[in-house]
Copies of this chain bind each other. A is one copy, B any other.
Amino acid sequence: MNKTKAKAAIEAILFSFGESVELTKIAAALEMNKDVVESLVRELMDEYEAENRGLQIIELEQAYQMCTKRAYYDNLIKIKEQPRKHVLTDVLLETLSIIAYKQPITRVEIEKIRGVSCGHAVNKLVEYNLVQELGRLDAPGRPLLFGTTEEFLRSFGVNSVDELPVLKPDQIDEFKAQAEQELNAMEQVGI
């Protein structure tokens, strides 16, 4: 199968399945090497970026999914209802952001950061399919570990948890240092 046809086949696959399709599955369907297929998908993604295309291909941790470009939301919403996303309260968002950045994380650890209990919030997030159980921590009581789902990536427009905006746990110190610097600068100018 030549490159052009392979890309056309990838387009056909992503379109007809609608949901996210894992790279390994696409590779098997094309009977081609995974790395080659990955580079083809990337080429296709770039081509979709062109102005004359209304669709885009998003990446969700080693899987790909086709969807419309945000720019055409206004046209689409006139004739099609967008399935309602769950409205997340502040509590849910806070809990979710802690899970997203610190996963895998236990409930106790989340509670330590938030200073309040969060069993209800975690359950709700699991119910909304934004958070899932990842197994159990090898520690006394074998507490459950939580992490984010693919639906989380899709709902928040993130390719992978590694690509979450800015701050990562190890950046807290950096953040602190920065704040201190600003503080000193302010003190110097007498604020």
Contact = CB atoms under 8 A, between A and B. Distances in A.
Given A29-B79, A76-B29, A82-B28, A54 B21 contact: no
B52 A7 contact: yes
A9 interface: yes
Chain copies in complex: 2
A84 interface: no
Contacts of A18: 18
Contacts of A31: 78
A68 B7 contact: no
Interface residues on A, range: 35 or more
A55 B132 CA distance: 35
A86 interface: no
Interface in A1-51: 4-5, 7-13, 15-18, 21, 25-26, 28-31, 51
A171 interface: no
Contact of A12 (B12, B28, B30, B72): B72
Interface of A: 4-5, 7-13, 15-18, 21, 25-26, 28-31, 51-55, 66-69, 71-72, 75-76, 78-80, 82
Given A11-B54, A26-B79, A29-B78, 4 more contacts: A11-B53, A17-B80, A21-B79, A25-B79
